[in-house]
Amino acid sequence: MNSTRRIAPLLAPSMLAADFANLQAEAERLAGSAADWLHCDIMDGRFVPNISFGLPVLEAIKRHAAQPLDVHLMIEEPQHYLEAFRDAGAANITVHYEACTHLHRVIQQIKKLGCRAGVALNPHTPAWVLQDIAADLDLVCVMSVNPGFGGQAFIPNTLRKVAELKELLVDAGSDALIEVDGGVNQDNALPLVEAGADVLVAGNFVFKSPDPVATLADLRAILSAATAEH
């Protein structure tokens, strides 16, 4: 398999790492940045051991965001809330494989709502579990940390998993984008893209830097230069 990329990946800064007291300002300063999507992690305290934010906060972010909202539902029984999250501003809705007993049905629900439909895989979940549904997916989010908290260290095995997933998607004839979420930074971004990643989610790396806009611009420049060589 040829794992080089001809198109620079999308960048999706994670709002989980933003200043929650100034979400309007955070969204507005990213409006003209290299960010392609704004990644929004929804946590319910049940599927993951943390609670982040819900529908009202997502609606508030949407009012001030220039980019599409990439909504990652780390929640139990997501099928009950899909329409509400679409109405709150989600362009992409990603549910967890581990949280959906009837995953195919949930994916079709998301598509019917007019959103890009994604499935997230926890670090311990192998890529092959998506073999029978790969052709129906628009997005696969590979968790490169254990979901629930920001600021965790990148799990190195993710590189192999992304490559395996890329091969699976190609074999299935799927155009699904591969997104990597957790611990992404300037050291692992290019190896991830070379392995097959299409979307990079970065939280602390962006928002804890002195200048998030400059950090995104620098990352875009590095990745664009590398992909241009191919």
41 an active-site residue? yes
DSSP 8-state class, residue 8:
P
Catalytic pick from 44, 138, 181, 198? 181
d(CA 98, CA 120): 8
| Cα four-point dihedral sign 122, 125, 126, 130 | negative
Q: Under 8 Å CB-to-CB from 24, ≥6 apart: which residues?
A: 60, 63, 64
Q: Position 210: which residue type?
A: P
187 an active-site residue? no
Beta bridge partner(s), residue 10 = 199
- Give the count of beta carbons closer than 10 Å to the beta carbon of residue 2: 8
d(CA 198, CA 153): 20
| Gyration radius from the chain CA atoms | 16
Catalytic pick from 41, 44, 70, 138? 41
Residue 43 main-chain phi, psi, to 5 deg: -120, 140
Q: Which residues are catalytic?
A: 41, 181
